[in-house]
Amino acid sequence: MQLRTLIPIALTILLTSTGTAQAAANPYERGPAPTVASIEAARGPFATAETTVPATVGGFGGGTIYYPTSTEQGTFGAVAISPGFISTQANISWLGPRLASQGFVVITIDTITIWDQPDQRATQLLAALDYLTQQSTVRSRIDATRLGVMGHSMGGGGSLRAATQRPALQAAIPLTPWHTTKSWPAVTVPTMVIGAENDSIAPVAQHSEPFYTSMPSTLDKAYLELNNASHLAPNSANVTIAKYSISWLKRFIDNDTRYEQFLCPPPKPSTLIEEYRDTCPHS
């Protein structure tokens, strides 16, 4: 075969294989390849800034938005986080910059009243996501198709309800959640329930465990029980909560399979983890 015939064929193969590789790459990956050290660190690879949301916006009690300052890698997924009963965003504020520095836009909210019940908190979490994506000053940084919810205690119960009300969400993480509803067969959003072994306010046997087991067995879900921890464990910086929350959000909001290694195979019981259940491998 003549050289002038081979060259076009070679170029075609090269261009086709390059295009296939580019198409196969995940367009939502943000940041360098993760390591145990990087997901346990107090801050991730992205510099962050924050802005205050006044209560006058309506729909929720205001809050704080934390976001990566650089947009060189494109838009980011977003997460709304609710505090628990008689608490304010200050109780879960540590999660804001920690998650944002890993490549998310995060809003920690105050509820309309500190007495709001879980289903009211669900409505407010969704209102906060709508504000983020439609009205906030950082809306251009957000991919509105890649959203998640988190919450502590009644806020955790609210995150479960929000997942049933908006199945288009990509991830939910209830933290030592509390809710009078114990069965959640309608949840289709990938959900990681984080309970605490010594929780006397929302004992895992009456809350976190039935929440997890009642969700469909076909769902991408996980149950992490913190060893020797109390109901208030999520109210201060916690490496275990951060490590697995980051991995879950990255895996399902960003579809970043580089983080699958921290979730599957599942972590074994240790001085930090009392129990871990999962539906590995994830779809």
Catalytic residues: 153, 199, 231
Q: 154-165 and 118-134 helices cross at what angle (nearest 10)?
A: 60
C-alpha to C-alpha distance for 18 and 31, rounded to whole angstroms:
22
Residue type, 235: N
Please give the C-alpha separations between residue 15 and each of 18, 83, 121, 150, in angstroms, as whole numbers: 5, 51, 51, 43
Q: Give the integer Cα–Cα distance in Å for 118 and 174.
A: 11
* 246/5 Cα distance (integer angstroms): 52
- Amino acid 90 reads A
Q: Which run of H or of E encompasses 157? A: helix 154-165
Task: Give exposure, 198-207, as e/b (b: 16+ Cβ within 10 Å).
Answer: ebeebbbeeb
Handedness of CA 116, 193, 273, 262 (dihedral sign): negative
* DSSP 8-state code for residue 94: T
Residue 61 identity: G
Burial (CB < 10 A; 0-12, 13-18, 19+), residue 72, is exposed
For residue 65, the cross-strand partners are 51, 107
Question: 158 in helix, strand or coil?
Answer: helix
